[in-house]
Amino acid sequence: MARTTRLVFLFLALTGASVFASPTRSSQIPGGWTPQRKPAAEDLAVWDKVTKELNTGLASMGEPSTVETQVVSGIKYKFSFDNGDQVTVWSQPWLNKLAVVNVHQTEP
């Protein structure tokens, strides 16, 4: 009887875990980009660092309207603007590294 109880408990534990790990629960793919969203305070703090500390000349683009993130030995931020421009930034805060990876401007 004790063995049966343990097996039932193990079955319930494993099937319950699979429900939480189900791909239908989130559209996030491991290593992939998150869906576009409105930038949170943390995202805007990274953008602020890019415009003020890296002397990139990107401050004229204003504040991003959306952001996507990707975890890749740090975090990549893809900042998008209302006019279609995009700036991709790579951050490794534990190493104090921040770099602009790509700038895509729709108009020169």
At 58, list the tokens.
């990107």
Q: Does residue 41 belong to any structural domain of this protein?
A: yes
Residue 26 dihedral angles phi and psi, to the nearest 5°:
-150, 150
At 2, list the tokens.
């004790």
**Which residue matches tokens 């805060």?**
93
How far is C-alpha 72 from the geometric centre of its chain's CA atoms? Answer: 10
At 18, list the tokens.
């699979």
Tell me, yes or no, if the pTM score tops 0.75: no
Helix (H, G, I), strand (E, B) or coil at 51: helix
From 76, 71, 73, 103, select the one nearest 89 (Cα to Cα).
76
Q: Does residue 18 belong to any structural domain of this protein?
A: no
Q: Does residue 1 belong to any structural domain of this protein?
A: no
Dihedral Cα 28, 29, 30, 36, nearest 10 deg: -50
Q: Does residue 62 belong to any structural domain of this protein?
A: yes
Q: How far apart are CA 79 and CA 63, in angstroms?
A: 9
Range of the domain at 70: 34-104
pLDDT in tens, the chain (108 residues): 565 555 445 454 444 544 344 343 356 677 899 999 999 999 999 999 999 999 788 999 999 999 999 999 999 999 999 999 999 999 999 999 999 999 999 876
Q: Does residue 98 belong to any structural domain of this protein?
A: yes
Q: Give the chain's domain count.
A: 1
Amino acid 8: pLDDT: 46
